[in-house]
Amino acid sequence: MKIEIKVNNKRYCLEIEHNLTLLDLLRDELGLTGTKRGCEIGECGACTVIMNGDAVNSCLVLAPQADGSEIFTVEGLEENGELSILQKAFIEHEAVHCGFCTPGMLMSAKALLDKNPHPTEEEIKIAISGNLCRCTGYKQIIEAIKSVSNQ
């Protein structure tokens, strides 16, 4: 089937199979491999993207359902060829270790900050509670997000 989708401000018109997920579409059709394939059952959050303003697990969205939607992935964070403030904060706070959870963490954090620029620590924790990290530790990640909210 044919779908029209806007990803990181770029419009795409694609012919896709019915059994693709949004995650498959982003990685395999558009080559946007920043979004990670993790558990594929909505538990790890590595595939988190922003869909029409909300953080979602792209592994749980059937690609045909994304027809007409606006998607932001980790590749869309950079501004004029530079890392965004949020990405820089992750580096400064050493909130990246192996990096596999990072794109998902960044997108959950961005979805939160877009709606609520000054979240409390509790709100930050809730926003990233669907993103599992097994090596960095959540403390640095929370600190990084908090530092952006203070700016």
Partner 1 sequence: MLPEIKYYKANTVEETVHILAQNKHAIRILAGGTDLLPELRSEKQNRKVIILDISSIKLLNKIEDEGHFIRIGALVKHSQMVESILLGRHAGFLTQASSLVGSAQIRNRGTLGGNICNAAPCADTLPPLVALDAELTLESSSGNRTELLSGFIRGAYKTNRANDEFLTWIRFKKLPEGCRSNFIKLGRREALSIARLQVAACGMIDSNNKICYIRIVPGSTTPNVFRFTEVEEYLLGNEPSERLFSKAGDMVARKMVEITGVRWSTEYKKPVIAALVRRSLQAIFNLKPGVAVK
Rule CB under 8 A: choose which of 73, 87, 102, 108 binds partner 1.
Answer: 108
Min dist. Cβ of residue 123 to partner 1 (A): 10
* Closer CB to partner 1, 13 or 41, in the complex: 41
Binding of partner 1 at residue 120 (CB under 8 A)? no
DSSP 96: -
Binding of partner 1 at residue 54 (CB under 8 A)? yes
Among candidate residues 120, 127, 121, 117, the one with its CA nearest the CA of residue 45:
127
Q: How far apart are CA 64 and CA 17, in angstroms?
A: 8
Contact 87, 106 (CB under 8 A): yes
Binding of partner 1 at residue 94 (CB under 8 A)? no
Kindly indicate which of the ranges 16-24, 86-94, 133-141, 143-151 contains the residues binding partner 1, using the contact rule CB under 8 A.
Answer: 16-24
Size of the chain, expressed as the number of residues it contains: 151
Q: How many CB atoms lie within 10 A of CB 32?
A: 20
Binding of partner 1 at residue 21 (CB under 8 A)? yes
Among candidate residues 54, 8, 53, 61, the one with its CA nearest the CA of residue 31:
8
Binding site for partner 1 (CB under 8 A): 1, 18-21, 40-43, 45, 48, 54-57, 59-62, 64-65, 108, 111, 126-131
